[in-house]
Structure 1
Amino acid sequence: MTMSGSLFPQMLVLLAGAVVAAPIFRKLGLGTVLGYLAAGVVIGPVMQQITEAEEVLHVAEFGIVFLLFIIGLELKPSRLWQMRGDVFGLGTAQVVVTGVVLTGLSLLVGLAEWRGSLVIGFGLALSSTAFALQILSDDGDLNSRYGQRSFSILLFQDLAIVPLLALVSILATGVGETETSALTGLAVAVGAVVAMILAGRYLLTPLFQVIARTGAREVMIATALLIVLGSAAAMQAVGLSMAMGAFLAGVMLAESSYRHELEADIEPFRGLLLALFFIAVGLSLEVDVLWEQLGFILVAVPVFMLTKGLITYALCRLLGSPHNDALRIAFLLPQGGEFGFVLFTTAVAAGLLSSGTASLLIAIVTLSMALTPLGATIARRLMKVEHEELDEDFEGAGADVLMIGFSRFGQIAAQILLAGGRDVTVIDDSADRVRQAASFGFRIYFGDGTRKEVLIASGIEKAKIVAVLTQKREVTDKIVDLIRSEFPETKLYVRSYDRIHTISLRGRGVDYELRETLESGLLFGRKTLEALGMSGAEAEAIEEDIRKRDEERLLIQAADGLMAGRHMLHNRPVKPEPLIKPKNAPAAEDEGALAEEVAD
């Protein structure tokens, strides 16, 4: 079967390969990336189900486009500023020094001429973000000192892919160009970047405000895809990479209130197309070349990993890391990364590397990735490092409090939290409320809290408390049920609609709930008694007595049903009654609940 045949059967084969391989490799602790690569090798070179990998790669490259868009979305200037020393100091040093040394090794063994060796050196200098972050997460070390420095290096490597892709284009086209044409091309490219920045600053946010008011989620998704693909096409039209355009669009929207919603909408496309990209890389492997170079690969992999690890260790020590931390970082980041595949396949298309050399490099990177979990395990056994938590989480990776809903109740609660010096991430699905809040200096994001992917993008996995302050009971219940199902360890503080809703929320296991009118009603009643001549102490004692008996009755009702605890209304001076006693009232009517519902 070739790509010239029916597309449908081929897509079924690719999807089946991803579905089968990814869970198996994840279970083995090798990660989904290696699973996709293995699936591509089996489908293509081994079984010969798809033989023209280039056409698959052409479509799958959009996965890289979407990935760089999301990387751009996450690069808030404030976060970069906080980590600037490690990101632009240690990160830059690691990429540049490792790239130069590996370029020299490539020239020494004759893998390619100088331009191709430059791509090889810097491609191998990049580590696997997916592998490293997964290991840090599994070990609970994302917030450790060495975890922070590792993340900073990975963050700079993610940034470095953009100029490296541009470098490939320059190396491929620079030879033979006249000085005039080169300057013209540079001017056009700079102009396109400036135009992209201006469009992102002045057009994108108003566009999303208009789209959000329609309430049509599919239109929002279509708009997000249009922005990503449109910006990618614009950069390609002026001679830059599509990835560069997507990255710029992401950076322009990083401070937008719609950032989390955009990330949630794009993520499924990114994941699927990126998986297809890695499968296509496997399809393009030349097994014959690998078999012929097996001896070279078995020597090159340990030499490459040792060289990279030693450089990383030396730089970390030079820039202030203790011995133990530097050693753990060196064990964590010695492998090649996903972006190496991108650079090598791009270099093949540009004529800088042969397909055979690219297959050899991809095999080296793949084996280094497969060996990384083993190296991390060895490091954990050799090292005895106390678990260290930082005082603050990474800015932009999730605040202490994730607040869902920003109506009047949420606005008051947020003021208390912000005045107490706590970071709060707020999401709301009303475009008008997002815009109005921004005019008063509040920073909230547009997003639907009933969607798991929006919660993840908003930082729920980092939040210490999630406050659900939505107005409608059914929406609140849906969010609570979702969080209890998908994030069972999350501490939930919830705004309750009424007494019945309070009992329902307690049955769902929330950590704290408060009826939206309870405290304000109690305070109003106490102040009224004081205005009628009662002493403040006596009025306060009555308020506290009502609050205490209300809580006792709630506990009884939660255990025995809504009709339980009625006697507690009549053995005290307070006896709530409806304003107008209904005719033919049902025998089972609960007086307290009815009075509260009338008040609500």
Structure 2
Amino acid sequence: MMESGSLFTQMLLLLAGAVIAAPIFRKLGLGTVLGYLAAGVVIGPILQQITEAEEVLHVAEFGIVFLLFVIGLELKPSRLWQMRGDVFGLGTAQVVISGALLTGFTMLAGIADWRGSVVIGFGLALSSTAFALQILSDDGDLNSRYGQRSFSILLFQDLAIVPLLALVSILASGAGETEASALTSVAIAIGAVGAMILAGRYLLTPLFQVIGRTGAREVMIATALLIVLGSAAAMHAVGLSMAMGAFLAGVMLAESSYRHELEADIEPFRGLLLALFFMAVGLSLEVAVLWEQLPFILVAVPVVMVTKGVITYALCRVLGSPRNDALRIAFLLPQGGEFGFVLFTTAVAVGLLSSETASLLIAIVTISMALTPLGAALSRRMMTVEHEELEEDYEGAGADVLMIGFSRFGQISAQILLAGGREVTVIDDSADRIRQAAAFGFRIYYGDGTRKDVLLASGIEKAKIVAVLTQKREVTDRIVDLIRSEFPNVRLFVRSYDRIHTISLRARGVDYELRETLESGLLFGRKSLEALGMSTAEAMAIEDDIRKRDEERLLIQAADGLMAGRHMLHNRPVKPEPLIKPKHAPASDQDTQAADETAS
């Protein structure tokens, strides 16, 4: 009973830590990963509430397994084949070069002999799949160019754990005695991967078809868990990582019609177990070792991270990554990884490393993990805005309408003006957009609308109307302020970002403004009403009524502040109404009160 109660208390502590820490760190912009890690440090080393960190870590490692399965579901085999260059080219170079340099640094530090130094160097060359992929997922960058290249490196590192574990055995026992067994292990691993691919291709989809016919959702969830854990166990049995088995199973199901349902079923388990993994890393931090070896750790952690970061950046640049992408990858993958724990533990078991050295290495890896979210945030600040500039040439500029900004909104507006027989001078600061327009035979001038000399060169003094259709609110405001100050007689038509921006523009004295989504939203709603059986006349009456109410509220808010306008035509408070069956009455209070709010 005591043991059961203790387990229950630990579960409550871990859940409470996750619930408290994640929102706080997310709000601070540090990410949930660092929040979970901090919660683990507080619960374990500081408060000493949970001491069995290793047991928690064993269970939590299944979070990585589920994570790799979900990643595999997003990668079709054809797409994975396209990544082979990055996986085996960039990934191999990163592991070999980083491992060799870190081995040399370890030998210079004198903390192990040459055999132990090799294990340490290549163990530290591996990065944390869980930390890196969680950061990519949080930022929505998994499918970006740098996200895919980062994943390629991580994927090769997961593959590299097999030969590295074989290397530990060879170094411990002598190459002559274990060469045959090492080759046998590699052959078995390759055979297991082939068997997994065949099983995924010919067995998994038919299995889900049979289960799907039962219509029992709990059976589908159980089947998904069985596939993930079964494939992980199969790969673990032949010396591969469990995460690799789950990843292969995911890839084999990537083209299955059950892919989205599988992802939805696994997602809750993945999220909870990954959170538990990060907390377990915090729990395993040995404060005593940190304190005793603090000077060495303060030197070792930056040496490891800088070495890996510089090598990764250089390799990415050599292989064609833009500067910003290479920078983000370098700051994403400088930490030690969870597979380093496995390698160091194995080295202790065969006598290559002492337990004290392993504890020191685990502390270095853990601290490097903790610094990774901060490094990822720092990389975003170091990125440069890659803005291509073209030569400014305004020959032939000067028309009735000067349009600043040629995004989708501007393109549609320009079509109306051109169809009406009016000439339009367009300036934009996007080189890509100018080239795209030129491909369709449309002349756009390159220029920055926030500069007075550009406005003069593009013919603002001849223009009867200046249309400011830029996408960013702050850019629009700067242009409007400049024109109102330097060219006060110009008629300004402006694209508004939202309701607050509309009020701000009216205060600046623009001649006309339009919220970029207002009219399209009204038209969409009217067409939906017509599709539901309402007559065109009734639907248009409702559309006009909503537009009129919205304008009345804007006038009130412009005069009395944003919180004004809560009372409309009949002096009744505007409150969101529950979803009810519409009454076919265009001026009905119940039908329009909710729309008043949503139109804002």
Q: TM-score range by the shorter chain?
A: 0.5 to 0.7
Distance 1:237 1:265, change over 3 A: same
Secondary structure (helix, strand or coil) at the match of 2:30 reads coil
* Structure 1 equivalent of residue 536 of structure 2: 551
Instruction: Determine if contact 2:77/2:251 at 8 Å carries over to the other structure.
Output: no
Instruction: Determine if contact 1:45/1:287 at 8 Å carries over to the other structure.
Output: yes
The total of aligned residue pairs comes to 417
Distance 1:380 1:162, change over 3 A: closer
* Structure 2 equivalent of residue 157 of structure 1: 153
Instruction: Determine if contact 2:62/2:273 at 8 Å carries over to the other structure.
Output: yes
For residues 68-109 of structure 1, give each alpha carbon's deviation from its aligned partner in whole angstroms, at most 9, with x where no partner exists: 222332332333345555454434433332232223222332
For residues 303-349 of structure 1, give each alpha carbon's deviation from its aligned partner in whole angstroms, at most 9, with x where no partner exists: 22322232233223323345566455545544445655565567667
In structure 1, what is the Cα distance between the partners aligned to 2:349 and 2:524? 56
CA shift for structure 1 position 368: 3.8
Instruction: Determine if contact 2:141/2:147 at 8 Å carries over to the other structure.
Output: no
Instruction: Determine if contact 1:348/1:358 at 8 Å carries over to the other structure.
Output: yes
Deviates more, 1:215-224 or 1:108-117: 108-117
Secondary structure (helix, strand or coil) at the match of 2:226 reads helix
Amino acid of the structure 1 residue aligned with 2:166: I
In structure 2, what is the Cα distance between the partners aligned to 1:277 and 1:346? 20
* Structure 1 equivalent of residue 303 of structure 2: 303
Distance 1:355 1:161, change over 3 A: farther
Deviates more, 1:67-76 or 1:225-234: 67-76
TM alignment of 1:244-323, pairs within 5 A:
244-321=244-321
Amino acid of the structure 2 residue aligned with 1:556: A
Structure 2 residue 72 is the aligned partner of structure 1 residue 72: yes
Distance 1:228 1:220, change over 3 A: same
Deviates more, 1:158-167 or 1:2-11: 2-11
Distance 1:263 1:36, change over 3 A: same
Amino acid of the structure 2 residue aligned with 1:553: E
* Structure 2 equivalent of residue 534 of structure 1: none
Distance 1:15 1:383, change over 3 A: closer
Distance 1:42 1:115, change over 3 A: farther
Amino acid of the structure 2 residue aligned with 1:554: A
Distance 1:185 1:40, change over 3 A: same
In structure 1, what is the Cα distance between the partners aligned to 2:140 and 2:206? 40
Distance 1:106 1:198, change over 3 A: same
Structure 2 residue 15 is the aligned partner of structure 1 residue 15: yes
Structure 2 residue 104 is the aligned partner of structure 1 residue 104: yes
TM alignment of 1:525-536, pairs within 5 A:
none
In structure 2, what is the Cα distance between the partners aligned to 1:180 and 1:372? 40
* Structure 1 equivalent of residue 478 of structure 2: none
TM alignment of 1:326-341, pairs within 5 A:
326-327=326-327, 329-337=329-337, 340=340
TM alignment of 1:277-426, pairs within 5 A:
277-321=277-321, 326-327=326-327, 329-337=329-337, 340=340, 353-372=353-372, 375=375, 384-386=384-386
For residues 50-79 of structure 1, give each alpha carbon's deviation from its aligned partner in whole angstroms, at most 9, with x where no partner exists: 223232223222222222222332332333
Amino acid of the structure 1 residue aligned with 2:222: A
In structure 1, what is the Cα distance between the partners aligned to 2:329 and 2:73? 26
Distance 1:201 1:562, change over 3 A: same
TM alignment of 1:183-198, pairs within 5 A:
185-198=185-198
CA shift for structure 1 position 222: 0.5
Amino acid of the structure 1 residue aligned with 2:151: L
Instruction: Determine if contact 1:313/1:327 at 8 Å carries over to the other structure.
Output: yes
Instruction: Determine if contact 1:3/1:52 at 8 Å carries over to the other structure.
Output: no
Deviates more, 1:338-347 or 1:157-166: 338-347
* Structure 1 equivalent of residue 516 of structure 2: none
For residues 129-150 of structure 1, give each alpha carbon's deviation from its aligned partner in whole angstroms, at most 9, with x where no partner exists: 676677778889888xxx62x3
Q: 2:162 aligns with which of 161, 166, 180?
A: 166
In structure 2, what is the Cα distance between the partners aligned to 1:233 and 1:194? 16
Instruction: Determine if contact 1:33/1:278 at 8 Å carries over to the other structure.
Output: yes
TM alignment of 1:17-166, pairs within 5 A:
17-114=17-114, 116-127=116-127, 148=145, 150-166=146-162
* Structure 2 equivalent of residue 229 of structure 1: 229
Instruction: Determine if contact 1:3/1:10 at 8 Å carries over to the other structure.
Output: no
Amino acid of the structure 1 residue aligned with 2:212: A
Secondary structure (helix, strand or coil) at the match of 1:158 reads helix
In structure 2, what is the Cα distance between the partners aligned to 1:511 and 1:83? 42
Amino acid of the structure 1 residue aligned with 2:228: V
Instruction: Determine if contact 1:45/1:283 at 8 Å carries over to the other structure.
Output: yes
In structure 1, what is the Cα distance between the partners aligned to 2:166 and 2:363? 26
Deviates more, 1:287-296 or 1:357-366: 357-366
Distance 1:205 1:359, change over 3 A: same
In structure 2, what is the Cα distance between the partners aligned to 1:137 and 1:196? 27
Secondary structure (helix, strand or coil) at the match of 1:320 reads coil
Distance 1:551 1:510, change over 3 A: closer
Distance 1:142 1:12, change over 3 A: closer
Instruction: Determine if contact 2:289/2:363 at 8 Å carries over to the other structure.
Output: no
Instruction: Determine if contact 1:90/1:316 at 8 Å carries over to the other structure.
Output: yes
CA shift for structure 1 position 213: 2.2
Instruction: Determine if contact 1:316/1:326 at 8 Å carries over to the other structure.
Output: yes
Instruction: Determine if contact 1:2/1:49 at 8 Å carries over to the other structure.
Output: no
Deviates more, 1:312-321 or 1:332-341: 332-341
Distance 1:106 1:4, change over 3 A: farther
CA shift for structure 1 position 511: 5.0
In structure 2, what is the Cα distance between the partners aligned to 1:125 and 1:253? 31
In structure 2, what is the Cα distance between the partners aligned to 1:211 and 1:158? 34
In structure 2, what is the Cα distance between the partners aligned to 1:178 and 1:213? 50
* Structure 1 equivalent of residue 220 of structure 2: 220
Secondary structure (helix, strand or coil) at the match of 2:20 reads helix
CA shift for structure 1 position 207: 0.9
CA shift for structure 1 position 382: 5.4
Secondary structure (helix, strand or coil) at the match of 1:49 reads coil
Instruction: Determine if contact 1:553/1:565 at 8 Å carries over to the other structure.
Output: yes
In structure 2, what is the Cα distance between the partners aligned to 1:4 and 1:350? 35
In our comparison, the structure showing a higher alpha carbon Rg is 2
Over the matched positions of the two proteins, sequence identity in percent amounts to: 76
Instruction: Determine if contact 1:92/1:156 at 8 Å carries over to the other structure.
Output: no
Distance 1:309 1:244, change over 3 A: closer
Q: Per chain length, whose mean CA-contact separation is higher, i.e. which structure has more relative contact order (CA < 8 Å, sep 6+)?
A: 1
Secondary structure (helix, strand or coil) at the match of 1:30 reads coil
Instruction: Determine if contact 1:127/1:154 at 8 Å carries over to the other structure.
Output: no
Distance 1:35 1:118, change over 3 A: farther
Deviates more, 1:112-121 or 1:215-224: 112-121
CA shift for structure 1 position 226: 0.7
Amino acid of the structure 1 residue aligned with 2:233: A
Give unpaired runs (5+ residues) of structure 1: 389-505, 520-546, 567-600
